[in-house]
Amino acid sequence: MPHAAPSTDDITALIETQMHLEGPLLPIFHAIQETYGFVPQEALPVIAQALNLTVAEVHGVMSFYHDFRKTPAGDVVVKICRAEACQSMGANALSAAVLDKLGLDWGGTTADGKLTVEPVYCLGLCACAPAAMVGGKLVARADLARLEKAMEGAA
Amino acid sequence: MKIWVPMDSAAKALGSEDVVAAIRAEAARRGVDVEIARNGSRGMIWLEPLVEVETEAGRIGYGPMNAGDVAAIFDGSPSLGLVEELDWMKRQTRLTFQRCGVTDPLSLAQYEAHGGLAGLRRAIGMSQDAIIDEVKLSGLRGRGGAGFPTGIKWDTVRLAHADRKYIVCNADEGDSGTFADRMIMEGDPFCLIEGMVIAGLGCGAVQGYVYTRSEYPDAVAVMRRAIVLAHEAGVIGPDVMGSGKPFELEVRVGAGAYVCGEETSLLNSLEGKRGVVRAKPPLPALEGAFGKPTVVNNVISLATVPVIFEKGASYYADFGLGRSKGTIPLQIAGNVARGGLFETAFGMPLGEIVTDLAGGTATGRPVKAVQVGGPLGAYLGQEQFDTPFGYEEFGGQDALIGHAGLVVFDDSADMLGMARFAMEFCAVESCGKCTPCRIGAVRGVETLDRIAAGDGAAVELLSDLCETMKDGSLCALGGFTPYPVMSALQLFPEEFAGVKEAAE
């Protein structure tokens, strides 16, 4: 995942790919985050300029949504579902075990920058709970061993 | 040899891609020629990955299949039998989900061969009035949870004067315990497309949006591919199936905000704004997306439209109970022996769903409570198990059916903890527009912590707070969070007695 700060031209080029859409701001954020792994804050004035908004408005939209990151995450993002169906099958104990094992709090990244663990509220795998997503790969009926295996596979 | 392996994300999460690789390897080893076809899920999640083999008698099932056990498929080992004849399948009335798990989700030819596009063809020959009358007569009500009559909503949009109107599909299925929208988008995406096109014809809208979740990457990919295929085939585009009428469709992906499942938040998000709730009026039907008249319907509402036009409104309306007409895809989830999707006419008692269909808990312990309708739905106890599954019937229990997800808990569930979670979730996800929700949820967490610490007097405060949130919130997030909290309190008062620690 490239972490180098992008140039204004790079950002402008990405914005251009979405400008034909009605209401292009969320698609623009998604395009930038897909490319860089996060939304570099240098992009906000460029977006504001393109959409004729204030930087404050653009910041306001970005900060409203849980998905958009200001800083890069670890190489692999582990999302563990915290919602009710998963709780009924022991998700609280599972996430506690994962966080404890990695020495992290929710949202934390391991010192080597490899893993970030985040909560997610429902992956739609409620009939085979608890569920998690490890670097884009879904894991159902998750337990510590299966998640560790998935984390090794994704790293 | 033709073998079907689901590409539904629940099947994938349970190892279906490893199974596909193992089948290919085993076939190569044996020198057997296999064709691997992909389908959606039948909804029997406890049998996933459910591999099906085509035989002269029909498709026989093997499941749950492990990559290590694929030899059984080739050896002709005992199977589950014909999948269509399994008890879970036979007992259903599959209308909305008639093709889900049966066909290749991305084959328009198979879609048509199984009844697809028949409804749209019929709708093309009808006037706008007649299309809307058909929906009204079917008795279809919003499957997202609010239960508003779909035909009346469509009529409001049809009658509104504007240069542009929209059909917006609310596919922001964030409720825990629900996955019907995901299954349709991954398993029968053309069905949703067809429903949206019919809505467009009926209301005079030329643009549709499917607003779905970033947590559903598979559904996003399948929907986007299906839209491209539908466009190439002329099902959508400048001239919908030779009708001379245009309809364009686009998928938009949210960004992890639960509140965007509320229709006005969704519209703000679609427009590129913060997903903050709008006060109503104006109704979205008059001033919705980009200020234009807009139908906002749930995936299941729209995906049910094709079958209503295929088989007729009265056929659909003959199923159901009272004012809850037609079928409902129950999503049975959480701590259950048999979890999955079961489409049936309204009216099945809750106890039959939990005990008979789901087979009780996965852990084998007694059922303590069932949360119906997502994180904003009430908990129901065993004494309410005779409640028939319907909008009004659940309303009578101070509960809601919501999007028809049921999450079962065994007797180890900590109900005060679940009530606290409901408040915590509301605090995390509140859009911040109205005070009862934004502040109330935070105070709710604090008050529940006081009760947990032994302050029994705080129970009255909690009840009072819930009243305020219920009456004073702008939308269902703040307004319905009291349902799980108060139902947990009423069903299990001893857990809120404030003497919990002393008792333990």
The 10s digit of each residue's pLDDT in B481-497 is 999 999 999 999 999 98
Q: Which of B271, B332, B425 sits opposite A127 (nearest CB)?
A: B332
Residues A104 and A149 in one domain: yes
Please give the average per-residue pLDDT across A74-95, as a whole number.
97
* Residue among B229, B454, B482, B503 at smallest CA distance from B375: B482
Clarify whether residues A59 and A80 are in a common domain.
no
**Average pLDDT rounded to a whole number, residues B101-127:** 98
Residue A26 is nearest to which of B175, B178, B255, comparing CB atoms?
Answer: B255
From the list B12, B256, B405, which residue is nearest A126 (CB)?
A: B405
* CATH architecture of the domain with range B415-503: Up-down Bundle (1.20)
A48 reaches B (C-beta below 8 A): no
* A84 & A124 share domain: yes
What average pLDDT is seen over chain B?
96
Q: Residue B502: its pLDDT value, please?
A: 46
The DSSP annotation for B224-255 comes to HHHHHHHHHTTSSBSSGGGSS--BEEEEEE--
Note whether A19 and A58 are same-domain residues: yes
Among A26, A41, A64, where does a domain finish? A64
CB-CB neighbors (< 8 A) of B331 in chain A: 126-127
The predicted pLDDT at position B288 comes to 98
Q: Which of B255, B333, B410 sits opposite A126 (nearest CB)?
A: B333
| A2 inside domain | no
Shared domain check, A148 and A101? yes
CA distance B118 to chain A (A): 30
CA of B134 vs chain A CAs: smallest distance (Å)? 32
B-chain residues near A123 (CB < 8 A): 9, 13, 215-216
CATH number of the structural domain spanning residue A118: 3.40.30.10
Same domain, A12 and A56: yes
Q: Which residue in A26, A121, A140 is closest to B272 by CB distance?
A: A26
* pLDDT band at residue B423 under the 50/70/90 scheme: very high
Domain check: are A54 and A91 in the same one? no
What backbone torsions phi and psi does residue A21 show, to the nearest 5 degrees?
Answer: -80, 155
Residues A93 and A30 in one domain: no
Give dist(CA B339, CA B331) in Å, integer.
8
CA-CA-CA-CA torsion sign (B190, B195, B199, B202): positive
Q: Is A115 domain-assigned?
A: yes
Same domain, A30 and A54: yes
Chain A residue closest to B411 (CA)? A88
Residues in chain B closer than 8 A to A139 (CB atoms): 13
Considering the domain boundaries, does residue A106 fall inside one?
yes
pLDDT, one tens digit per residue, over B442-482 is 999 999 999 999 999 999 999 999 999 999 999 999 999 99
Q: Which residues pair with B4 in a beta bridge?
A: B37, B52
- The CATH architecture of the domain made up of B2-90 is 3-Layer(aba) Sandwich (3.40)
B97, B341 Cβ separation under 8 angstroms: yes
Contacts of B405 in chain A (CB under 8 A): 85, 126
Chain A residue closest to B8 (CA)? A125
What architecture is the B108-317 domain classified under in CATH? Answer: 3-Layer(aba) Sandwich (3.40)
Q: If you average pLDDT over residues A20-41, what whole number do you get?
A: 97
Confidence of residue A4 (pLDDT cuts 50, 70, 90): low
Q: Is residue A124 part of a domain?
A: yes
Chain B residues with beta carbon closer than 8 angstroms to that of A86 = 176
Assigned domain for A141 exists: yes
* Whether the predicted pLDDT of B316 surpasses 90: yes
- Give tens-digit pLDDT for B242-289: 999 999 999 999 999 999 999 999 999 999 999 999 999 999 999 999
CB contact under 8 A, B258 and A83: no
The residue among B1, B5, B80 whose CA lies nearest residue B49 is B5
pLDDT band at A3 (very low <50, low <70, confident <90, very high): low
Strands B207-212, B248-253: pairing kind: parallel
Nearest residue in A to B406, CA atom: A85
Q: Which residues of A touch B46 (CB under 8 A)?
A: 127-128
Helix axes B217-232, B180-187, angle to 10 degrees: 40
8 Å CB contact of A24 and B272: yes
B388 bridge partner residues: B349
DSSP-derived 3-state class of residue B363: coil
Last residue of a domain, one of A28, A44, A64: A64
Closest residue by Cα to residue B404 from B356, B364, B345: B345
Contact: B174, A121; criterion CB under 8 Å: yes
| A120 interaction partners in chain B (CB closer than 8 Å) | 215, 256
d(CA B137, CA B129): 12
Q: How many domains does chain A have?
A: 2
B167 has a pLDDT exceeding 50? yes
Domain boundaries defined on chain B: 2-90, 108-317, 320-410, 415-503
| Residues across chain A | 155
Domain identity same for A17 and A53:
yes
Domain B320-410, classified CATH 3.10.20.600, yes or no: yes
The neighbour count for residue B36, using CB atoms within 10 Å, is 15
Mean pLDDT of B19-31: 97
Is the bond leading into A45 cis (omega within 30 degrees of zero)?
no
Query: ipTM of this predicted complex?
Result: 0.96
Same domain, yes or no: A54 and A95: no
Cβ distance A140 to B256 less than 8 Å, yes or no, reads no
Give the model's pLDDT for residue B499: 57
- The Cα of B32 is separated from the nearest Cα of chain A by a number of Å equal to 30
Residue range(s) defining the domain that contains residue A21:
8-64
User: For B382-408, how does the pLDDT look when each residue is reduced to its tens digit (9 = 90+)?
Assistant: 999 999 999 999 999 999 999 999 999
